[in-house]
Every structure is written in structure tokens, then in C-alpha cells.
Structure 1
Amino acid sequence: MTEQATIAALVQRIEVLEAEADIRRIQARYMFLCDTPCPEFDVRDDTHRIDLILDLYTEDAVWEGVGEYYDNQFGRAEGRAAIRRHFEGFWGQNQGPELLLNAHYLTSEQIHVHGDEADGQWIHMQPWLFSDGTALLRSSRLNNTFRRTGDGWRITRTRTENVFISPLPHNFAESFPSTSVLMRP
């Protein structure tokens, strides 16, 4: 292998590693912004939170829940305007007890970069705590796609499939924050 070929191969490997790191950060940021209470500093309200989430997506992105359980619960939203409505419906639904805590834990990561496009798979777990003391544990598989744009990597598809949902004991958590102070300066 010539020196130029070696350098070109190393540059390509570095580009893949950088793409994987960017995609990992985007996916983690998405989950971070979906946590309740929202830990992002200076997020004024859910509209602002949704704006920050949508900044992670391409204009033609798709958000969908698939499989036996999620088809009917989440459906499919095509384009950023439809994805906005999906999140407005989620945070705007004042049915039942208030959601006090929802935290996303990502695991089993796989990221595959193919030039300017990529896909990634994760499993995530999330506890949900409600104001009436009820709680549940939810797990989902994610199969997402990404595209490199002029502004960096963006999500082109969020695809989530239910693994399980399980009730947790009443008043499962003894303590949890009403607001996050993690990101305060």
C-alpha cells in the first residue's frame, strides 16, 4: 500500500469514527430532551423543547411507532410539521395523572455509517412516574436512520418498537427531582 493510499484509508476510518460519535451524540441528545423533567438548561416550555428536538431532524424525517403495541399508540408522522404535532400531542395531553419523571437509558448500541447516510439500533429503558404514585417501566427497540447535511448529521427516521411495558409498585421511587438543576451554569 502506498503512503497516499494509507493516508486515504486512515482519513476514511477517522471520518467513520467521527460520524459514529456525532450520531451517538444526536441520539443521546434526543433522549435527553425527551426526559421529564427536561434537564436542558433554559428550556422555557414544551414548545421550546420541541423546537430543540426538531433541530435534530431533517425536513423529510419520519417518526413512527411500529409493531403490535406501538402501531396504534404512536402511528407514523412524516415531515417535521407532523413530528411537531406528534410531540405537541404527547406533551399537550392532560389526561390522567401528571407525568413527573421519565428518564431514557440507552444500551446495545450499533451504528453503521455508509458514506453520508447511517443507521443505528439501540434498546432503551425508561421508568415513568406519575403524580398519583403509579409507575411503569417501558422498553423499546430503536431502529433509526441519519443523513449528513450541510449542518451536520440529522435524524431521518425514528422507528420505535415496544419490547415490554410493566407496571412498577405504587410509589416505586422514594425521591426524584421536580426540576433538573444539572445544566444550570
Structure 2
Amino acid sequence: MSIDGKYTIEQLAQRLDILESEAAIRKVQSRYMLLCDTPCPVYPPVTDAERIEMILDLYTEDAVWEGVGDYYTGQFGRAEGKDAVRAHFNRFWPADQNPRRILNAHYLTSENITVEGDRAEGTWIHMQPWLYDDGTALLRSSRLNNAFRRVDGEWKVSRTRTENVFIADLPDNFAESYPEQSVLFR
């Protein structure tokens, strides 16, 4: 702000860019979470392989996906580059999963996004119930510290970093109604 309390056109343009960047980053993070939900609520319905490619479209070529901390380092490890991130997600949705995950929904909260030019970081806390076809269920909560980079004018994830807050078993068959397939976007 100038001495007289007014903004220059350049200052206003910079402030507008930050606001638009925050909104774009929020959409990228939200899209990522939506694509990770089960059942996957995109339309038309997609296979897990197609879903993974849609997720990878949100990432930079040199992206890192990592679990950190006592619990997630061993469970998720670190994947560097799109091929390694693809392999990570292929392990997350194996065709022969037993018991099969029938519901997973991500709830994001406590957002904080900081934009500096063509780079940004965002933090969130998220919770997600997981239901399996054998009636077992659990509730997971994680902290996210993700990095983003503007590539050819488009914001992409350059790092996903997740740390366990807690994992709690839920009572067997605790949910009595849930969709087999999402119809939200039809």
C-alpha cells in the first residue's frame, strides 16, 4: 500500500493474483480428494486406472508423494516423480483387495494457503471413514502439508506430504446406508 493508503495497479494485480491462486489451489486439492473417494463420484464412471491418471493430471512431472512421521513413513513411504506416484496409487487400489474398500470419503478442514509467486504451500487436516465389504470400518485423520507450483499458468501439486493424526477402529457395520455408486454428477 502506498503512503496515502491507496493501492497501485501493480499492487492490486498482485493481490488479485494471490486470491485467484488460492482459489485455484483450493480447487486442485478438492479435486484430488474427490478423486480419492470411494465410490469415485466422477461421471461418467471411471476405472481405478483412469482415476489414477486423473489424479496424476493434478501433479507436476517431478512431484513427490510422501507419508511422514512414526506411522505413515512405514505405511506409505516416499514416491518421487509421476511414475512412482502412479505406482503408489496402484498399490492403494489393488484389483484383488480383500477386504474390499466400499466407502472412503475425505473431509478437509483447517485450511491455510500461502502463495509466493509461482509457488505455494497449503496445510489442512482431514478425516476419512473407511468401510470394507466385510463390515469392518475405521476412521483416519491426517495432517497435510502440500506444495504447489504454477506450470504453464496452471497450478499443480508438486508435493503431497501426509502425517497420521490418528486411526481408530469403528464398530463393525456402523454405517447402515451408503452408496454402491455415486450419481452426484449425472
User: Which bin holds the TM-score, normalised by the shorter protein?
Assistant: over 0.9
Helix, strand or coil for the counterpart of 1:177? coil
Gaps of 5+ in 2: none
Helix, strand or coil for the counterpart of 2:11? helix
- What displacement does 1:8 show? 1.2
Within the alignment, does 1:102 sit opposite 2:104 as a pair? yes
- What displacement does 1:7 show? 1.4
- What displacement does 1:44 show? 2.4
Within the alignment, does 1:114 sit opposite 2:116 as a pair? yes
RMSD over aligned Cα atoms = 1.5
Within the alignment, does 1:131 sit opposite 2:133 as a pair? yes
Residue 39 to residue 153, structure 1, CA distance change in 2 (3 Å): same
Letter in structure 1 aligned against 2:64:
V
The runs of at least 4 aligned residues of structure 1 exceeding 4 Å deviation read none
Aligned partners of 1:111 and 1:45: how far apart in 2?
32
Aligned residue in 1 for 2:66: 64
Aligned residue in 1 for 2:26: 24
Q: Give the alignment partner of residue 151 of structure 2, picking from 149, 152, 159.
A: 149
Aligned partners of 1:93 and 1:165: how far apart in 2?
24
- What displacement does 1:5 show? 5.6
Within the alignment, does 1:15 sit opposite 2:26 as a pair? no
- What displacement does 1:95 show? 4.0
- What displacement does 1:99 show? 0.4
Per-residue displacement from partner, 1:105-161 (whole Å, max 9, x unpaired)?
000000000100000000000000011111100000000000001050000000000
Q: 106-115 or 89-98, which moves further after superposition?
A: 89-98
Aligned residue in 1 for 2:161: 159
Counterparts of 1:72-111 in structure 2 under 5 Å?
72-92=74-94, 94-111=96-113
Aligned residue in 1 for 2:36: 34
Letter in structure 2 aligned against 1:23:
I
Q: TM-score, normalised by structure 2?
A: 0.95
- Equivalent pair of 1:101/1:176 in contact (CA under 8 Å): yes
Per-residue displacement from partner, 1:60-95 (whole Å, max 9, x unpaired)?
000000000001100000000000000011101634
- What displacement does 1:96 show? 2.6
> How many pairs does the alignment contain?
184
Aligned partners of 1:173 and 1:133: how far apart in 2?
9
Q: TM-score, normalised by structure 1?
A: 0.96
